[in-house]
């Protein structure tokens, strides 16, 4: 089966072709970072307009490059939500139009399911598993017993982990999105120069809270002489990353212990973080749990994960009517 994937839930326009015989044939991402970077975050209206301009040329470029026509496809998978509603509507309407034109089945994908299943593009998933979903908009722990069988075990009470990276990076004067910059700078940081809180670490519930970290970082940064040196930035980045990774690892392995799963996984943009991947790899080995880090290109928003999730649904006989609506919010476990 050949599935075209479309992902426009936030600020990346992405299209991909998944072939069930050979895997991901192509995965194109047109980034809007330059457009939004100036504002320090994503401007929803600008994101929708840029998707509108970029999406169809990107689909043409993908199909031409693969020498594939619409008639060679077996279905179109599109992110239906959650995300920015205007941005989602551009992707979903385009997907519907392609399906209508070529008489193809449409399948709407929950963005978080796409992130989780991205692990299957790297290696076959071992289930049941506990998955830590960490992105710019989500931080949650999900128990997965099969495709389509997800139970949310807990989530952040306020900011997502990616937001904590991005907001504190902004305080350090780093460009948007800050996560990759913190990751890079932290490698040169001095352990122990600063100390930030690990919020809710003593709490027995599966919860996270990252909004307080921003205040802790601001207090430290405000007390440093200006301009900040690169060493100051690196030292703050080290401790910030360590505080976030401590909280994420603690909850992930606590949930795996409680649910007695043989495997743990990471999903979402923050899963590209080098320190998080290394710490989870180390701890999983110590506890005898299966863990393979997902390829970084499939961690941040991409359409390959959407096409791949679409293939799972289509081969199980699930498709959606062209009346399918997009949605800005809905937990994965309650979305059908």
Instruction: Name the site residues for Zn ion (rule: CB under 5 A).
Output: 135, 301
Q: Which region, judged by CB under 6 A, interacts with ligand KG4, from 98-106, 176-184, 205-213, 308-316?
A: 176-184
Please report which helix (H) or strand (E) contains residue 106, including its range: strand 106-110
Is residue 268 at the binding interface for ligand KG4, with CB under 6 A as the rule?
Answer: yes
Q: Provide the pairing of β-strand 2-7 with 12-19.
A: antiparallel
Is residue 118 at the binding interface for ligand KG4, with CB under 6 A as the rule?
Answer: no
> Which segments within 135-277 are labelled E, that is strand?
139-146, 149-156, 207-208, 263-267
DSSP string over 253-317 = HHHHHHHT-SEEEEESGGGG-HHHHHHHHHHHHHHT-B--PPPGGGTSS-SHHHHHHHHHHHHTT
Is residue 13 at the binding interface for ligand KG4, with CB under 6 A as the rule?
Answer: no
d(CA 113, CA 150): 9
Distance in Å from the first CA to the final CA of the chain? 23
In the complex, the smallest distance separating the C-beta of residue 270 from ligand KG4, rounded to whole angstroms, is 4
As beta bridge partners, residue 15 has: 6, 28
Say which residues have a Cβ less than 8 Å from residue 38's Cβ, sequence separation at least 6.
none
Q: Which region, judged by CB under 6 A, interacts with ligand KG4, from 94-102, 134-142, 149-157, 311-319?
A: 134-142
Is residue 32 at the binding interface for ligand KG4, with CB under 6 A as the rule?
Answer: no
Q: Which of 88, 6, 52 is nearest to 328 (CA)?
A: 88
Based on CB atoms, which residue is closest to ligand KG4, 12 or 232? 12
Coil/strand/helix, residue 25: strand
* Interactions with ligand KG4, residue window 183-212 (CB under 6 A): 183
Q: What's the chain's Rg over C-alpha atoms?
A: 20
Is residue 180 at the binding interface for ligand KG4, with CB under 6 A as the rule?
Answer: yes
Q: Which of Zn ion, ligand KG4, none does residue 232 bind (CB under 5 to 8 Å by kind)?
A: none
Based on CB atoms, which residue is closest to ligand KG4, 136 or 293? 136
13 contacts 50 by C-beta, under 8 angstroms: yes
Is residue 80 at the binding interface for ligand KG4, with CB under 6 A as the rule?
Answer: no
Based on CB atoms, which residue is closest to Zn ion, 235 or 301? 301
Q: Provide the pairing of β-strand 106-110 with 207-208.
A: unpaired
Based on CB atoms, which residue is closest to ligand KG4, 120 or 268? 268
Q: Indicate which single residue of 91, 179, 293, 310 sits in contact with ligand KG4 (rule: CB under 6 A).
A: 179
Please report which helix (H) or strand (E) contains residue 30, including its range: strand 23-31
Based on CB atoms, which residue is closest to ligand KG4, 90 or 272? 272
Based on CB atoms, which residue is closest to ligand KG4, 66 or 209? 209
169 DSSP assignment:
H
d(CA 92, CA 30): 17
Q: Which of Zn ion, ligand KG4, none does residue 166 bind (CB under 5 to 8 Å by kind)?
A: ligand KG4
Q: Indicate which single residue of 8, 54, 94, 300 sits in contact with ligand KG4 (rule: CB under 6 A).
A: 300
* Interactions with ligand KG4, residue window 148-167 (CB under 6 A): 162, 165-166
What number of chain residues touch ligand KG4 (CB under 6 A)?
Answer: 19
Based on CB atoms, which residue is closest to ligand KG4, 63 or 306? 306
Based on CB atoms, which residue is closest to Zn ion, 159 or 301? 301
The contact set with ligand KG4 (CB under 6 A) reads 10, 135-137, 162, 165-166, 177-180, 183, 268-270, 272-273, 300-301
């Amino acid at each position: 089966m050949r599935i075209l994937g479309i992902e426009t839930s936030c600020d990346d326009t992405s299209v991909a072709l998944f072939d069930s015989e050979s895997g991901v044939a192509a995965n194109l991402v047109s980034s809007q970072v330059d457009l939004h970077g100036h504002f320090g975050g994503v401007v929803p209206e600008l994101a929708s307009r840029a998707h509108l301009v970029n999406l169809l040329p990107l689909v043409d470029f993908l199909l031409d490059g693969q020498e594939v026509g619409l008639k060679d496809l077996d279905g179109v998978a599109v992110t239906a939500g959650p995300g920015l509603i205007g941005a989602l509507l551009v992707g979903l309407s385009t997907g519907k139009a392609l399906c209508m034109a070529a008489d193809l089945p449409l399948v709407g994908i929950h963005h978080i399911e796409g992130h989780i299943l991205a692990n299957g593009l790297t290696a076959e998933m071992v289930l049941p598993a506990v998955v830590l979903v960490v992105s710019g908009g989500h931080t949650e722990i999900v128990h997965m017993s099969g495709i389509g069988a997800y139970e949310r075990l807990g989530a952040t009470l306020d900011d997502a982990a990616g937001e904590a990276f991005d907001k504190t990076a902004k305080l350090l004067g780093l460009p948007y999105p800050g996560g990759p910059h913190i990751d890079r700078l932290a490698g040169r940081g001095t352990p122990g120069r600063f100390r930030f809180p690990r919020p809710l670490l003593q709490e027995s519930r599966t919860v996270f809270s990252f909004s307080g970290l921003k205040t802790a970082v601001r207090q430290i940064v405000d007390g440093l002489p200006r301009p900040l040196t690169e060493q100051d930035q690196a030292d703050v980045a080290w401790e910030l990353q360590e505080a976030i990774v401590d909280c994420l690892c603690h909850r992930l392995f606590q949930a795996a212990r409680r649910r007695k799963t043989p495997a743990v996984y990471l999903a979402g943009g923050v899963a590209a973080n080098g320190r998080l991947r290394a710490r989870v790899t180390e701890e999983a080995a110590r506890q005898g749990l299966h863990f393979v880090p997902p390829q970084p290109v499939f961690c941040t928003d991409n359409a390959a994960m959407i096409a791949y999730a679409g293939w799972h649904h289509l081969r199980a006989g699930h498709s959606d009517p062209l009346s399918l609506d997009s949605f800005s919010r809905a937990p994965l476990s309650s979305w059908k």
